[in-house]
Amino acid sequence: MKVAVVGVTGLVGGVMRQVLEEHKFPVTEFIPVASARSVGKTIHFNGREYTVVSMDDAIKMRPHIAIFSAGGKTSLEHAPRFAAVGTTVVDNSSAWRMYDDKKLVVPEINAHLLTENDKIIANPNCSTIQMVLALAPLHKKYGIKRLVISTYQAVTGTGVQAVSQMQEEREGKTAASPAYPHPIDLNCIPHGGSFQEDGYTTEETKLVHETRKILGAPDIRITATVVRIPVYGGHSESVNVEFERDFDLDEVRKLLEAEPGITIQDDADNNVYPMPLFSKDKDDVFVGRLRRDFSQPNSLNMWIVSDNLRKGAATNAVQIAQYLVENNLLVGDAELVAGV
């Protein structure tokens, strides 16, 4: 099983290596791939040292799976080149998410749609993944009519430059190369991605379109506000859900408890609720503050938290790859899955 990680030296790439190890993914040949400036560097995976190779060299090696986390431009240019030699690409960028012929996958929800003909598979946005995992069983039961979303997103979602900015500001320094137009430490910035003509940002628009696509529900009305906050551990979301049908709060809890990958933390008497500090380095999506919205019929308030580098990126991508292997969806992989 040849597995390439493209963007292996980046923030998410490092977590992908870690998750592949932890999930004991059946890698027999590991191919670390990065930009020209990183070629020749060494990284460690499963107790061994590997030399980073170029995109061209990786394609010549014809990996069975290539997990991309190298930006949209890189994915648009090189994912088709991998696919052309038979590699199945799982792409973590926004490049392919809204193409009609590309699957946008959260494995617990819609991996069953994948076939061996899907050579480029899109990994959703980090904020979308954690939210739809919590919403999917509720949508199936009650039918979602409208969502009002406010996110509180960690600096790790922006990348290494943003993490450095916050660290420097906490040390009382002026950031040498700031990722944001304002200080982030001791601040909240209501600006995720780029502003569009309608006043919404690209991060807000992703929540709208990706949620509809994953749930197969193009008519859900959705509005979102994305806020960047000075934390490392994960993204938090306040989600107000209006359903087509009324719900029972105890049943809502049972539905969520039964969903793989979700942990309920909802005990107000003992101050138990999800927080990004305690979601860090965990794969689960944590859900709490479940309560009826008395201002609107059939409406629920939820608080959803998850490590954006894990389930929001690396873990979800690895889970897609695991599904492909376990269900014999890699071309010519019959012998590869024998030990899975």
Two structure tokens written together for 286: 């944590």
Question: Among the options 64, 78, 126, 139, which is catalytic?
Answer: 126
Q: Which residues contact 250 (CB under 8 A, 6 or more apart)?
A: none
Where does residue 198 rank: exposed (0-12), middle (13-18), buried (19+ CB within 10 A)?
exposed
Active-site residue, 126 included: yes
87 vs 85: CA distance, rounded Å: 6
3-class state of residue 68 by DSSP: strand
Question: Where does the chain have alpha helices with state H?
Answer: 11-22, 55-60, 72-84, 107-110, 126-142, 160-170, 202-215, 249-257, 276-279, 315-326
Spell out a b/e string for 66-105, using b for 16 or more CB atoms within 10 Å of the CB, else e: bbbbbbeebbeebbeebeeeebbbbbbbbbbbeeeebbbb
Active-site residue, 139 included: no
Check: CB of residue 5 under 8 Å from CB of residue 65.
Answer: no
Where does residue 209 rank: exposed (0-12), middle (13-18), buried (19+ CB within 10 A)?
middle
Check: CB of residue 105 under 8 Å from CB of residue 327.
Answer: no
Check: CB of residue 122 under 8 Å from CB of residue 104.
Answer: yes
Q: Checking DSSP bridges between strand 29-33 and strand 235-243, what pairing results, if any?
A: unpaired
3-class state of residue 2 by DSSP: strand
Which residues are known to be catalytic? 126, 235
